[in-house]
Amino acid sequence: MSITEHELKIKLEGIEDPDIGEDIISLGLVNDVRIEDETARISLAFNAPYAPSEMELGNQIREICDEAGLEVDLRAHVGEEHGFDDEVLPRVRNVIAVASGKGGVGKTTVAANLAAGLEKRGAMVGILDADIHGPNIPKILPVESEPGVTPSEDIVPPRSDGVRVISMGFMTEEDDDPAILRGPMVNKFMMKFLEGVEWGRLDYLIVDLPPGTGDATLNLLQSMPVTGSVVVTTPQEMALEDTRKGIQMFNKHDTPVLGVVENMSSFVCPSCGDQHGLFGTDGANSIVEKYDVPLIGQIPIHPDFGAEGSEGALVKDDESPVQESVEEVVGEIADRIGETNRRTVNEHTSDEPDDRLPTEVED
């Protein structure tokens, strides 16, 4: 005797969200369950494509359906009913802001590797170089062509190995030309980059914010539907002090802080293999404990993960000693995005009648 939709839903109650600690049915993460022609068609309120935790949840659902003798067709959908209704960037699933309290800590390098890493996993990714006065993204992610223009005068981003890129660096004639702009002009360019770019459909838009907590950063936070922010620091106390200010800025603007990436966390001697904390040790841990934010990862000093704008700043070699650290950071950020979105779904689901899911899945 074949399994019913209601019985399948009961089996799905045995799958626990690894980050929230409740089952996916109670959290409202299952939109709909249908069984047609021995195929389970399941709609999930997932919104972080290629996040390891959500891929694992999908694998558990497939195992349950396989044990029940069913093929499975999984779909992901979140929308206005889950609190995801954005007029700005409506075709972008997630906006990730990458920030730093001060310059020179590797913020742009982390942002570029995050974009490239997510694209490598299969996601559709764009990156917005919002650092108007220091647009270095095109140096790390060299594009294949110049920006295009649509008939409606929207900018079409060029691509770098699949990643769509927009930067102030495209607007200057020479790489060394300075962007001498006052506040109003900076805001004008930023709004053009937000509202006048044909991004297409994106799973993730990475925004490389200007360092510090100035007007440009504040205006962007007020204008963009930011899913979450990543703060980059080094172990030095001066960098940590500015990082604390950045976290407080995000908290005041109700922007979730996904976590902290500690760059230049240590130096591994290529000769002896010993690890040395050139800029101090465990510096980011004090921030993690005080502000209750995760430490996403620690990236060591290595030529493959060089200073912003260097030829080695984008890690492409799977055999690179720093590759594992970068991959872990990319996966962890995707997981934190997924957790943030699933908690948002749960908050909206908890306001609905308790019989919502049974009504949806039963004939």
Query: Do 68 and 164 share a domain, yes or no?
Result: no
pLDDT of 278: 63
289-319 burial string, b = 16+ CB within 10 Å, else e? eebebebbbbbbbbebbbebbeebbbbeeee
Same domain? For 226 and 339 the reply is: yes
> Averaging pLDDT over each range in 61-70, 127-136, 150-159, which range is the top one?
61-70
Question: Looking at the chain, how many residues does it have?
Answer: 363
Q: What is the span of the domain harbouring residue 212? A: 92-345
Q: 313 and 208 share a domain?
A: yes
CATH number for the domain spanning 296: value is: 3.40.50.300
Find, among 6, 1, 2, the residue nearest to 359 by Cα.
6
Give the residue numbers of the binding site for ATP: 101-108
Sorting pLDDT into bands at 50, 70 and 90, what band is 357? very low
Contacts of 178 (CB under 8 A, 6+ apart): 133
Mean pLDDT of the region 297-311: 66
Query: DSSP states of 188-200 as a string?
Result: HHHHHHHHSB---
Q: Are residues 129 and 64 in the same domain?
A: no
- Assess whether 71 and 98 both reside in one domain: no
Work out the pLDDT band at 309, boundaries 50, 70, 90: very low
The residue-averaged pLDDT of 134-152 equals 86
Our count of domains for the chain comes to 2
Of the candidates 35, 40, 15, 34, the residue with the CA atom closest to the CA atom of residue 25: 15
Give how far Cα 356 sits from Cα of 6, 179, 243, 362, Å: 13, 54, 43, 11
Q: Rounded to 5 degrees, what are φ and ψ at 336?
A: -65, -35
Residue 86 maps to a domain: no
3-state class of 128 per DSSP? strand
For the segment 186-219, what is each residue's pLDDT rounded down to a tens digit?
667 777 777 889 999 999 999 999 887 666 677 7
In whole angstroms, what separates CA 259 from the centre of its chain? Answer: 11
> pLDDT tens-digit profile of 144-195?
888 898 998 888 999 999 999 998 777 655 554 444 444 456 667 777 777 8
Asked which of 28, 50, 77 is the last residue of a domain, the reply is 77
User: Does 66 lie in the same domain as 103?
Assistant: no
Residues annotated within the binding site are 101-108
Residue 356's pLDDT is 43
What confidence category does residue 112 fall into, taking pLDDT thresholds of 50, 70 and 90? very high
